[in-house]
Chain A
Amino acid sequence: MFNIPKKDAITFVLFAIVVLTMPIWLTPFGASYPALLQKFAIYALLAVGYNLLFGLTGYLSFGHAAFLGVGSYAAVWSFKLLSMNPVLALSFAILFSGIFALAIGYISLRRSGIYFSILTLAFAQMSYKLAYSVLSPITHGETGLQLTLQDPRAIDLMFIERGSSLPTSNLFGISMSGYSGFYFTAIILLIGFFIAQKITSSPFGMMLKGIKSNENRMNYTGFNTKPYMLTVFVISGIYAGVAGGLLSITDPLAGAERMQWTASGELVLMTILGGVGTLIGPVIGAWLIKYFENIFSAWNESVLHGFFAFLPDGFEDIVVTISSKFVGEGWHLTLGLMFVLVVVFLPGGIMEGARRIGTMFKNNKDKKTKQSSDSEKGEG
């Protein structure tokens, strides 16, 4: 199981180092606090899972928020009914999001292209609307599902007395908030990343890439593509479910707004921004968007005034007025613009940009050597 190509192994080790040292290297960026670090890890996992579907097969799903929501609810219910143990909660999140993804995938995958997108969108919207209205006994509608003091917590209460305050999720005594919570999510992210790596390099992954480049031809060569698609859809849904479960583990409150289709849209943004079809790309996209969301949205005019203080007075005011539209409340504008620019100019996302810059340097070198050899020829 662990015999992976050397190149993948190096990528994985580097990735693990980057993730695990995040609290250190993010300090200068002002992003090194546990709540945000946890989000980094969780949304990276979500994006890695989404990329397995969209990046490998090209099927654009607008319904992954539903799996995220199901995972969250499953985890919180596991806290409420059984135990505050995150592993148990994650198993429930996997189970339920898997079943859910199987059902939705089975139906949605009967169509491809834009119809698939719309089917997944329809299912996600249905789940969201139901979670808000009829399923309120399960989801607690608008207030969101949260822990109470009267929860049964059957397994936990066999061992410990019911406390006077709300319990927090803990892994055999290790609290799941703060830095320990971040390391828990980071390890899950690494496991998820490793599995994604294995899938991408496996024959199964090759099959999925074949579906992306030409599904008809795959069918003609005798592969029934549907079971492969369904498998990867369920896997991808489980990733989203685990991410949802982790969101609940780090903060035991699940709301229906997690299932709204704009949440799926955000996930698509992350994947595209980073680079579809690459393993690292979606992770970078998720980090960037979550970073901007937390850092940019906290900026206001006074911060900007401090930032542009070196400019002449009148000019400073103009610059601050204009740029204040892009941060704080309006950071979505920056996001949208960035996204449009990426899709128009860099369809492969940041990863393609990096690759282009890389080849540009390489080409320059090649050209120079070529030119010099040409000129030598000319002289001769």
Chain B
Amino acid sequence: MDALILQVLNGLDKGGAYALIALGLTLVFGTLGVVNFAHGALFMLGAFCAVTFKKIITLEQIVLSKTELSPWGTPLEIRTPYAQQWFGDFGNVLIEYSVPFSLLLAIPVMLFIGIAMERGIIKHFYKRPHAEQILVTFGLAIVLQEIVKAFFGANPNPQPIPQIFMGAADLGVMVGMAENVITYPKWRLVYLFFSLGVIAAVFAFLRFTTFGLVVRAGMSDRETVSMLGINIDKRFTIMFGIAAVVAGLAGVMYTPILPPDYTLGMDFLVLSFIVVVVGGMGSLPGAVLAGFMLGVVQSLASMTEVKDIIPGIDQIIIYLIAVIILLVRPRGLLGKRGVMEN
């Protein structure tokens, strides 16, 4: 039982990442009607925003000490990060919390990348077949991936967890269970709540703002909205930017869990596509639900008890679910009737 709860928790934070990427994918598909294979690359770019931020913030000034000598007899090098010199204690805080602070960097950067991508390339593909959209965004994903590789190399770049989120939280105690039964890494909890927060923010944005109202109207009937004199294309472009930001933020916060390298995007892309399809193309709640569900199912399947019964199930369970859902209920869990159903 305890193991079960633990696995569900384990699945939830992974599910959070899936849900965030799938949410962005669905937004793009629902608004622009574009199947975006470069969305995983956006997740990866977000993660590298964190890497860049940390690199900038930890730039060091090297001063040779006049009096002290290092063990090798050469003058001792004193390294002090510029951030520390300029901002004093706040600089130290910046370095310590580099991952959360890089969210601030990631938002404008991802918004810019998203809008540039939409205006630059994807705009020309609205009316083309889905196959060509897949192809061009796939090519784009390769390009983005290789650019990142050219700048950051092929090795993973581990990112630090802030001190107070290190270690594990004893969740069992909080609900009155014995100690050390259900412990869970604090950062993963942070990630879970962060993803829930972002999801809530996106839904609130769509639900409670005039902008969101127009976008939702455009999603259900684009032509009528544009006939009312609203420039719906412009709003959809911004939605693409927001989808890129969501993917990017998911990537930033995921860096302490999984050190990012340039293939990160591709690894998540296939999975998040399956999440979208399982949830139902174009359904936002479906994407979120399917994201968390598949995350949990995946981690349940990796329990040894399950693996003993069906060996190898943990490797393929997600794909298996996707196949079954596509065959039995092609519009996905919460997909609208008639949207891409055949």
Contacts and interface: CB of A to CB of B under 8 A. Distances in A.
A340 B140 contact: yes
Interface in A329-374: 329-330, 332-333, 335-337, 339-340, 343-344, 347
A359 B217 CA distance: 45
A132 B134 CA distance: 27
A117 interface: yes
A134 B311 contact: yes
Contacts of A336: 139-143, 145-146
Interface stretch (A24-32, A105-113, A163-171): A105-113
Interface in A313-332: 325, 329-330, 332
Contact of B146 (A117, A118, A332): A332
A331 to B, nearest CB: 9
Interface string A6-37: 00000000000000000000000000000000
Contact of B315 (A129, A329, A330, A343): A129
Given A115-B277, A130-B312, A107 B131 contact: no
Nearest to A266: B142
A261 interface: yes
Interface stretch (B52-60, B88-96, B221-229, B266-274): B266-274
Of B35, B131, B150, most buried by chain A (CB within 10 Å of CB) is B131
Nearest to B271: A125
Contacts of B130: 113-114
Of A135, A335, A339, most buried by chain B (CB within 10 Å of CB) is A339
A125 B143 contact: no
A110 B327 contact: yes
A294 interface: no
Given A110-B327, A122-B322, A133-B312, A272 B134 contact: no
A118 to B, nearest CB: 5
A325 B322 contact: no
A272 B142 CA distance: 15
Contacts of B326: 111, 115, 118-119
Contacts of A132: 315
B135 interface: yes
B342 A58 contact: no
A107 B327 contact: yes
A135 B315 CA distance: 12
B135 A272 contact: yes
A82 B241 CA distance: 58
A143 to B, nearest CB: 18
Contact of B323 (A119, A129, A130, A347): A119
A337 B316 CA distance: 33
Contacts of A117: 131, 134
Contacts of B141: 336
B132 A343 contact: yes
Interface residues of B, number: 42
Interface string B143-159: 10111011000100000
B320 A126 contact: yes
A129 B141 CA distance: 22
A214 interface: no
Contact of B312 (A112, A134, A332): A134
B132 A118 contact: no
Given A60-B134, A335-B142, A339-B139, A118 B316 contact: no
B98 to A, nearest CB: 27
Contacts of B270: 121, 125, 261
Contacts of B142: 332-333, 335-336, 339
Of B138, B140, B145, B327, most buried by chain A (CB within 10 Å of CB) is B138
Contacts of A134: 311-312, 315
Contacts of A337: 139, 143
B319 interface: yes
A333 B312 contact: no
Interface string A94-107: 00000000000001
Nearest to A136: B312
B258 interface: no
A344 B315 contact: no
Contact of B35 (A58, A114, A332): A114
A152 interface: no
B340 interface: yes
Interface in B265-288: 266, 270, 273-274, 277, 281
Contacts of B129: 58
A123 interface: yes
Contacts of A115: 277, 326, 330, 340
A265 interface: yes
Nearest to A132: B315
Contacts of B145: 332, 336
Given A58-B129, A123-B319, A343-B135, 19 more contacts: A60-B131, A107-B327, A111-B327, A112-B342, A114-B130, A115-B330, A118-B273, A122-B319, A122-B322, A125-B270, A126-B315, A134-B312, A268-B138, A330-B146, A330-B149, A332-B145, A332-B146, A336-B143, A339-B142
28 contacts: A107-B327, A110-B327, A111-B326, A113-B130, A114-B340, A115-B340, A117-B131, A117-B134, A121-B270, A121-B273, A123-B319, A126-B319, A126-B320, A130-B315, A132-B315, A135-B312, A261-B270, A262-B266, A329-B154, A330-B146, A332-B145, A336-B142, A336-B145, A337-B143, A339-B142, A340-B139, A344-B124, A347-B132
Interface of A: 58, 60, 107, 110-115, 117-119, 121-123, 125-126, 129-130, 132-135, 261-262, 265, 268-269, 272, 325, 329-330, 332-333, 335-337, 339-340, 343-344, 347
Interface of B: 35, 121, 124, 128-132, 134-136, 138-143, 145-147, 149-150, 154, 266, 270, 273-274, 277, 281, 311-312, 315-316, 319-320, 322-323, 326-327, 330, 340, 342
Of all A-B residue pairs in the complex, the 6 with the closest CB atoms, nearest first, are A134-B312, A336-B142, A333-B146, A129-B315, A339-B139, A336-B143
